[in-house]
């Protein structure tokens, strides 16, 4: 396997699981060495042993979910390093042995991301978006947007074939690192789908803004109508002739 593409070991792998539990049995040293070389070809190995000359064939692997205790889980560990080598048993057969190595979390290739209210561009899904990753089906790309929304429900709003999301990016805008984006599913020429992204420039109207001229005009006919009614009422009011009263006297 090419080491350019990282593939870390996991306890779910049957070969790794057999080694961790000391299940392998080989009738010769050569077979044990070949198994260790198989691990090297299949998984990403650590470079820690690159400048060392161990007395026998060995491999250093980071293994997902390997012996993560309660404290490590709280601290953000997703796995641990293990030293793989071989040894001869009392019956003259050989086996693979593993030893856990306590290596500081900052040197681990994978770790839990700290909890945050919104994602940044280092999020795996957003990294794929920037790289223009192509998904084979509409369901696969839709699932990515759903995962992002479920992880950040308070700063994202799902919509049809898109999601509105707030993204933290100090590098893009140091003075205002929180920006609004739209992530939208788009078809790819030749087949497949990808996620386009662009700034969300929509601004909600300010509720404190005074009424527009149009709104004011709507009220004018009501005032005019009321004044006409008042005028008609005045026409119906009897007029007292004060002159007639004066003549009788």
Length of the chain measured in residues? 249
Burial of 10 (0-12, 13-18, 19+ CB in 10 A): middle
Same domain for 188 and 131? Answer: yes
Q: Note the pLDDT of residue 247.
A: 42
CA nearest 21: which of 58, 66, 57, 62?
Answer: 66
Same domain for 99 and 180? Answer: no
CA nearest 112: which of 62, 78, 67?
Answer: 78
Domain boundary among 80, 107, 134: 107
Burial of 114 (0-12, 13-18, 19+ CB in 10 A): exposed
Q: Note the pLDDT of residue 131.
A: 94
Name the residue with higher pLDDT: 245 or 84.
84
Task: Note whether residue 213 is domain-resident.
Answer: no
In the predicted model, what is the mean pLDDT of residues 55-82?
90
Domain hosting residue 69, numbered range: 9-107
Structure-token pair, residue 237:
């009011």
The sign of the CA dihedral 123, 121, 164, 76 is positive
Task: Note whether residue 19 is domain-resident.
Answer: yes
Same domain for 65 and 148? Answer: no
Cα→Cα distances 83→158, 205, 230, Å? 45, 61, 98
Name the residue with higher pLDDT: 6 or 190.
190
Same domain for 22 and 100? Answer: yes
Task: Note whether residue 28 is domain-resident.
Answer: yes
Same domain for 28 and 97? Answer: yes
Q: Note the pLDDT of residue 6.
A: 79
Task: Note whether residue 212 is domain-resident.
Answer: no
Total of domains in the chain = 2
Structure-token pair, residue 143:
């699932």
Q: What percent of the chain clears pLDDT 90, i.e. is strictly above it?
A: 57
pLDDT tens across 105-145, in order?
988 988 887 778 899 898 889 999 999 999 999 999 999 99
* pLDDT bucket at 244, cuts 50 / 70 / 90: very low
How many Å apart are CA 234 and CA 17, to the nearest integer? 101
Buried b (16+ CB within 10 A) or exposed e, 228-249: eeeeeeeeeeeeeeeeeeeeee
* Contact by Cβ (8 Å): 41, 107: no
* pLDDT bucket at 225, cuts 50 / 70 / 90: very low
Same domain for 15 and 100? Answer: yes
* pLDDT bucket at 60, cuts 50 / 70 / 90: very high
pLDDT tens across 147-173, in order?
999 999 999 999 999 999 999 887 777
* pLDDT bucket at 55, cuts 50 / 70 / 90: low
* Contact by Cβ (8 Å): 60, 77: no
Task: Note whether residue 44 is domain-resident.
Answer: yes
Same domain for 47 and 130? Answer: no
Task: Note whether residue 227 is domain-resident.
Answer: no
CA nearest 152: which of 192, 183, 115?
Answer: 115
Same domain for 143 and 97? Answer: no
Inform me whether the pLDDT recorded for 246 exceeds 50: no
Q: List the CATH number of the domain containing 143.
A: 3.30.310
């Amino acid at each position: 396997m090419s080491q350019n593409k990282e593939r870390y070991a996991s306890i779910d792998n049957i070969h790794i699981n057999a080694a961790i539990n000391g299940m392998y049995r080989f009738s010769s040293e050569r077979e044990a060495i070949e198994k260790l070389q198989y691990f090297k070809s299949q998984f990403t190995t650590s470079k820690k042993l690159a400048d060392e000359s161990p007395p026998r064939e060995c491999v250093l692997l980071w293994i997902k979910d390997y012996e993560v205790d309660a404290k490590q889980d709280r601290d953000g560990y997703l796995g641990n390093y293990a030293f793989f080598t071989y040894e001869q048993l009392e019956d003259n057969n050989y086996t693979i042995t593993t030893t856990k190595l306590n290596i500081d979390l900052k040197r681990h290739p994978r770790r839990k991301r700290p909890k945050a209210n919104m994602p940044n561009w280092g999020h795996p899904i957003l990294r794929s978006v920037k790289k223009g990753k192509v998904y084979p089906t509409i369901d696969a790309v839709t699932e990515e947007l759903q995962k992002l929304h479920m992880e950040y429900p308070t700063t994202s709003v799902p919509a049809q074939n898109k999601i509105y999301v707030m993204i933290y990016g100090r590098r893009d805008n140091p003075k205002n690192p929180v920006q609004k984006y739209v992530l939208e599913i788009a078809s790819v020429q030749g087949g497949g789908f990808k996620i386009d992204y662009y700034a969300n420039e929509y601004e909600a109207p300010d509720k404190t803004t005074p009424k527009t001229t149009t709104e004011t005009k709507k009220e004018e006919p009501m005032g005019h109508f009321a004044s006409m009614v008042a005028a008609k009422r005045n026409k119906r009011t009897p007029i007292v002739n004060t002159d007639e009263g004066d003549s009788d006297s």
